[in-house]
Amino acid sequence: QRCLSLIKTTKFLNAYITVTEDTALRQAEESEKRYRRGQSLGDLDGIPVAVKDNFSTAGIETTCASNMLKGYIPPYNATVVQKLLDQGAVLIGKTNLDEFAMGSGSTDGIFGPVRNPWSYSRQYKEKCGQNSRLENEDSSWLIAGGSSGGSAAAVSSFTCFAALGSDTGGSTRNPAAHCGVVGLKPTYGLVSRHGLIPLVNSMDVPGILTRCVDDAATVLGVLAGHDPKDSTTVQDPFNPFELPSVIDVSKFCIGIPKEYHIPGLSSETLAVWSKAADLFENAGARVIEVSLPHTCYSIVCYHVLCTAEVASNMARFDGLEYGHRSNIDKSTESMYAATRREGFNDVVRGRILSGNYFLLKQNYEKYFIKAQKVRRLIANDFVNVFNSGVDVLLTPTTLRDAVPYVEFIKEDNRTRSAQDDIFTQAANMSGLPAVSIPTALSEKGLPIGLQFVGHAFQELQLLTVAKWFE
Ligand code: GLN
């Protein structure tokens, strides 16, 4: 009830697309009864969680913040949603995002932008002037980051204890950094994608947003494991873990990628990053500079691969099977075209066009195959660094703290989305686990996130290091 009433008082954040009030209250009551009988289902029994609106939820509208899926009610739960419910978690609502998770700001969905809760912190207001909660009356409110900005804002504003995001190029870690919460992208193949409406199948991973690293480990323990409905999940059993309470970091080797010192990195973020490296060194960890030489190709490589998979994925939205169908239906062709023009925003349509261009017979080798090869080089950079004895990489999550919405939308949306992913997308192309954790506040009083990247399937080690630093 407290979470539901907080959702009402923070409605102006626009973090939720759907609030599942009735079912949440019913689930909470059932959980309370189980608790009284001493029959709790697990760690998450009775815990309010939110789910990004690109995960299928049985009987609950799932929109991807797109006209294409507005009104679509899936007949089944995504595996991760089912796992949460099986543990007694209380599903409190579906959260806002960029349309089909394409973006880095949570500004591009049909339900309007998500507002960063930190826009209303005392320190930010003192530094940056009046900040009204009323629409059209303010200009300084900040983006929440994206594309899982609704989930990050929901956790950050205490309306739930954990939320699911998705992470294809950084969409869980980026908003986690901007909203001052923990954002974990697990290793590709550890957590089922069944029921997550795909963006880039070869990079998508369900993400976890929580208030602290321990909570992320708990939720991961619930979600991880083989799923016969997702053939890309690994067969090896996953043993849920509890993070140690006393951590000795002196046995770890922390790598600092030199190529991540790039133009556009704010001086404040750079300072926080350097200070973090010093902290590890002072605690006895080995901190070394490492090289990820193919970093500079990351953005273009991601662009080609992402749009190519998008072009193929979005073909399912044809007006026949799912969601929106145009009234313009003089011919099958014109119905397809009108449905997709009416259903998708310009970001989605732009990516479909680019992707189909890269996949044209005459371009396929030149762009798509080449990008696949570059992806391998990017992934090998990490293999080489980890083989040299590095346990975990330490990097910034984003270039800077959150920017005001009015500034964000001035920039071209494709460039801005691409630049903001520079530190995060390589982990998706390599399948590696990565976590963003909140560290210091910037001069404006806004959170700055740092990212740790670990060895594949070594979430225990990754989160142990992150917890020590937290
Ligand atoms: N910003 C990236 C994109 O728009 C990543 C999105 C994501 O991780 N879902 O493709």
pLDDT digits (tens, 9 = 90+) for 277-316: 999 999 999 999 999 999 999 999 999 999 999 999 999 9
In 3D space, the residue among 238, 267, 106, 239 whose CA is nearest the CA of residue 172 turns out to be 106
Beta-sheet strand order (sheet of 253-257): 16-19, 90-95, 48-52, 162-167, 205-210, 182-185, 434-441, 447-454, 392-396, 253-257, 286-290
pLDDT digits (tens, 9 = 90+) for 200-250: 999 999 999 999 999 999 999 999 999 999 999 999 999 999 999 999 999
Please provide residue 68's backbone torsions phi and psi, each rounded to the nearest 5 degrees.
-60, -40
pLDDT digits (tens, 9 = 90+) for 60-105: 999 999 999 999 999 999 999 999 999 999 999 999 999 999 999 9
Q: How crowded is the C-beta side of 28, counted as CA atoms within 13 Å?
A: 16
Pocket test for ligand 1, best of 193, 199, 354 (most atoms within 8 A of CB): 199
Residue 401 has pLDDT above 70, yes or no: yes
Q: Alpha-carbon Rg of the chain, whole angstroms?
A: 21
Asked if ipTM goes beyond 0.90, one says yes
For ligand 1, the distance from its centroid to the CA atom of residue 206, given in whole angstroms, is 13
Which of 53-62, 127-136, 137-146, 378-387 bottoms out in mean pLDDT, i.e. has the lowest?
127-136
Ligand 1 atom closest to the CA of 203, numbered from 1: 8
For ligand 1, the distance from its centroid to the CA atom of residue 180, given in whole angstroms, is 19
Please state, in angstroms and rounded to a whole number, the distance separating the CA atoms of residues 394 and 279: 12
pLDDT digits (tens, 9 = 90+) for 439-448: 999 999 999 9
Q: Which residues line ligand 1 (CB under 6 A)?
A: 101-104, 147, 166-171, 199, 306, 417, 421
Residues annotated as catalytic (active site), given as ranges: 52, 147, 171
CATH code given to domain 2-246+434-440+463-469: 3.90.1300.10
Please state, in angstroms and rounded to a whole number, the distance separating the CA atoms of residues 36 and 19: 27
Phi-psi region of 196 (alpha: psi -120 to 50; beta: other; left: phi over 0): beta
For ligand 1, the distance from its centroid to the CA atom of residue 257, given in whole angstroms, is 22
For ligand 1, the distance from its centroid to the CA atom of residue 431, given in whole angstroms, is 15
Question: Which ranges of 242-313 does DSSP label H, i.e. alpha helix?
Answer: 267-282, 298-313
Pocket test for ligand 1, best of 147, 148, 184, 309 (most atoms within 8 A of CB): 147
- Domain locations in the chain as residue ranges: 2-246+434-440+463-469
Pocket test for ligand 1, best of 55, 66, 102 (most atoms within 8 A of CB): 102
